[in-house]
Structure 1
Amino acid sequence: MLRPLLTLLVLMLLTFDARSNVQEDIVIVVNKHNPIEYIEKRQLIDMYMGKYLAFPNGHIAVTLDYKKEHALRSAFFLALTGRNIAQINAYWSRVKFSGKASPPQAYPSIEAIIDKVVTTPSAIAYIPASAVTDELKVVYRFAK
């Protein structure tokens, strides 16, 4: 009786730890010199779904994303649109085929995204809150 209970307790603790890592706050960041201070969720949806390619002030935005297999991508698009990653990938397949828009530039890692935002004043991206540096400005936060 004690062994199954102990096994269950260990599994619960491991599950809790894994979920807490996945559910870290995701933030939207821009270069610290970008004049944007805040962006609305609706504007983010338009930018990340290829409907609008500029910041609210009209300046062109370079929207950055992760490669399809990156774990943060699923959590971000679910928080942003309420759609799972399969639905997002299907959406982009349709949009690309129609020629109406192109998906955001894709990068393999958080570090690559941060480097691009730091060196590109017009870039916008999403990263875990714990990865924010002094060279970045947070303009939106998805809470857990």
Structure 2
Amino acid sequence: MFRYKKIHTIIVAAGLVLLSPCVSAEAVVIVSARSAATALTEEQASDIFLGKNSALPGGGAATPVDQADGSPLRDQFYTKVSSKSAAQMKAYWAKQIFTGKGQAPKEAGDSAAVKAAVAGNPNLIGYIDRSAVDATVKVLLTVK
């Protein structure tokens, strides 16, 4: 009995350690450091990533770039910014595409790939883990 409890405790502790990076990731919405944009609200970010708006506040195009489908950061971003789960987002874009009202944002992969794409094009907007931010991009919104 004692051995079972000890093994169970070790397994649970290891699981928590493995899950902690996913839980503690902080998403930030970014644009190129060359962009004139300085700030963004969650509602504005939601509108851009849901295809309801294609401009940044104060002017400038805003073409959204997504993390890879199934990414924990992607799920966290949409849950917090648009109050939609991953399944709801898939249904939303399926309807938009079917009715001809829009196209889902292009997927760039992980935070490094999104950052590289956004840094190279002032018309792109994306979201990455805060730890990936450097001087090539500018943070417009911290997703809480």
TM-score, shorter chain, exceeding 0.5: yes
Q: How far is 1:78 from its partner?
A: 1.4
Secondary structure of 1:65 counterpart: strand
Structure 2 counterpart of 1:93, one-letter code? A
Superposition misfits of 4+ residues, deviation over 6 angstroms: none
Name the residue aligned to 2:14.
14
Report the equivalent of 1:135: 136
In structure 1, distance between residues paired with 2:137 and 2:61: 18
1-side partners of 2:18 and 2:76: how far apart? 13
1:130: Cα distance to partner?
Answer: 0.8
Give, in angstroms, the shift of residue 10 of structure 1.
1.7
Tell me the TM-score normalized by structure 2.
0.90
Output the CA distance in 2 between the equivalents of 1:17 and 1:79.
23
What is the CA–CA distance in structure 1 between the aligned matches of 2:57 and 2:101, rounded to whole Å?
21
| Pairs aligned (count) | 143
Q: Over aligned residue pairs, what C-alpha RMSD do you find?
A: 1.5
Amino acid in structure 1 at the alignment position of 2:112? E
Q: Are 2:67 and 2:127, in contact at CA under 8 Å, matched by a contact in 1?
A: no
Please name the residue that 1:70 is paired with: 71
Structure 1 unpaired stretches of 5+ = none
Which whole-Å deviations, capped at 9, do the CAs of 1:77-102 have from their partners, x for residues lacking one?
11222221011001100011111111
Please, which moves more after superposition, 94-103 or 70-79? 70-79
User: What residue is the counterpart of 1:51 in the other structure?
Assistant: 52
CA distance in 2, matches of 1:117, 1:129: 14
| Alignment deviations for residues 103-125 of structure 1 (CA, whole Å, 9 cap, x no partner) | 11211232221111111012111
Supply the distance in 1 between the matched residues of 2:107 and 2:64 (Cα, whole angstroms).
9
Structure 2 unmatched runs, 5+: none
Q: Partner of 1:4 in structure 2?
A: 4
3-state SS of paired residue (1:140):
strand
AA matched with 1:118: A
**Equivalent residue number for residue 98 of structure 2:** 97
Partner secondary structure for residue 38 of structure 2: coil
Identical-residue share of aligned pairs (%):
26
| Residue number in structure 1 paired with 2:109 | 108
The residue identity in structure 2 corresponding to 1:9 is: T
